[in-house]
Amino acid sequence: MTEMEKKLLHLRQLADEYEYDYNYIAANNFHQERLFGETIHDPNIWFEYGCFSMHTKEKGRPRDRGKAEECFREALTLDNRHLLSLLALACLMWHRGCLTQSEVLLRTAIDLHPEEEYIPWCILSQIYQAQGQKDNVRICLKKAEMLYTIARESRNGYSTPHILLSPLLKFPFSVGYLFLRENIPCSTVLVETSILLLDLYLPKEGKQILDLECDVFSTAIDNKWAQGKAHELMHEYKEAKIWLNENLSVSKEEPMSWLLLGRAHYVNKEFAAAVQAYEKHLRYQGSRCVYPYVYLDIGNCHLHLKNYPAAKKVFLKLCSIGPTTSSWLGAGISLFRMCDFKQAEIALVEGNHIDSKNQKVWAYLTLTCLANDRCEEAEVAFEQLQKTSLTDAPLLLEIADGFAKVGNLQDAEAVILAAIKEGGGVRARFKLADLYLQQGKLECARLEYKNILELDGITCGERSMAEDKQRNIQSQFFFSTQLTSDSPVTI
């Protein structure tokens, strides 16, 4: 592997880690960083960036599918035979209702890649379905099934097509990659086609393909896995669990069912249930290799449940298998919460060596230094943190508390203001007002308590507390005015 290839792989791994952590801004930066020098002419890099753009969703904004289209078109400009980009752009056009463009792209894919044409035929059937051309729908599906049968017979063993095996689609928890790892052959062309759509983050279209098969009680096991994943991506967690539990009612020892169920619980923030499902996945997985992101999910579940010794054990095991920034960060957080500050710092420094731009690593290094009363080093770590874009308001407020505790009120104020910007809410406002009081800035404190009272959705207790604080400040103003206005009486 050349140095450029190593760099590209490292940047992709970092982008995937940030995507897993829902930090799409940082992940986007690493995808953009991969487009340097000669790689800007590499269609594969553009395709991966386009796939990532299909996934991203930031603070209620719609997914950046305009950017995805731009990336797929750039890949096709560089290589008009690029199969994955042809299919991805065709699927995106289908999603947008641009059916004629989608049909042209799919026909092009069929003409240029006859060895993989059954998936384009399957998607094309749904383009004709949307146009009301029922005869063409039947023709396309029959063609897809016939070609798929021929392709399966010509393969030895594993039957998933090349496009699903492509490392370009290997994003965190990508369905195709999970099937590849477990060497699970797909039962029908419908399942394989839906997997491609799910990995392009088009769950509605993927489910539409899956629904061409029969109901939940008669479909194949891999169809139910894909159905569960489709519902998970659409945030329909109850429905996802129904499909996955249907598989478990047939076989309790199927590790893939437990993995997908654990993931559905995790993204729905049902951390205790996620741990239980993942533990069963590990049990039935036996000696086979475990997907690394499963360990990350388990460790993060334990962190959310404040089971820090268990979290430490999981993260350190992952560090021994394949160290990443995320695994060292998880270990560092666990050790920090257990007040083992020395070992926490060692773990965090290891994570920092892999990714020197990680916001949470710098945040916890700041907290670790503050806990050890190493204020100058904490300020240095905080300077590095300020160069990043930490959006975790509770973590920012914890750093502010640490600075306030050691008397560094200036940095404490700066961190609280950053937390307010990131949606820290009433809690951050109270901390800022209290800090102003501590500094003797009575007018600033009064105005901040006034701001709190004007916020929507504050509780009765919070309102009462802010009003009491305001009255106390008014009393201090009155007392100080009396002292300055009183003058000695001359007789």
Name the packing angle between helices 175-182 and 221-233 (round to 10°).
Answer: 150
CATH 1.25.40.10 matches 392-474: yes
Return d(Cα 195, Cα 199) in angstroms, integer: 6
Structure pTM? 0.90
Return d(Cα 325, Cα 457) in angstroms, integer: 38
Long-range pairs for 12-19: beta carbons < 8 A, 24 or more residues apart: 12/48, 13/324, 14/325, 14/355, 15/52, 16/171, 16/172, 17/324, 17/325, 17/326, 17/355, 19/52, 19/55, 19/56, 19/171, 19/172
What are the 10-residue block averages of pLDDT along the chain, 491 residues in total? 90 94 92 92 95 75 76 97 96 96 96 89 96 95 92 62 75 84 79 93 95 70 93 96 94 93 97 97 91 95 97 96 95 97 96 95 96 93 91 94 92 93 90 90 88 87 88 72 49 37
Q: Output the pLDDT for position 64.
A: 61
Q: Output the pLDDT for position 158.
A: 46
Q: Output the pLDDT for position 162.
A: 59
User: What contacts 131, CB < 8 A, 6 or more positions away?
Assistant: 99
Return d(Cα 312, Cα 340) in angstroms, integer: 11
User: Residue 425 is encoded by which pair of tokens?
Assistant: 């809410």
Length of the chain: 491
Q: Give the phi and the psi of residue 383 in degrees, each rounded to 5.
A: -60, -40
User: What contacts 157, CB < 8 A, 6 or more positions away?
Assistant: 183, 185
Domain ranges of the chain: 392-474
Q: Output the pLDDT for position 482.
A: 52
Return d(Cα 430, Cα 141) in angstroms, integer: 62
Return d(Cα 482, Cα 490) in angstroms, integer: 18
Q: Are 33 and 11 in contact (CB under 8 A)?
A: yes
Q: Output the pLDDT for position 60.
A: 42
Q: 371, 380, 307, 375: which is closest to 341 by C-alpha?
A: 371
Q: Output the pLDDT for position 71.
A: 96
Residue with tokens 């965090």: 348
The CA R_g of the chain, rounded to the nearest whole Å, is: 28
Return d(Cα 91, Cα 101) in angstroms, integer: 10
Q: Output the pLDDT for position 137.
A: 95
Q: Output the pLDDT for position 168.
A: 85
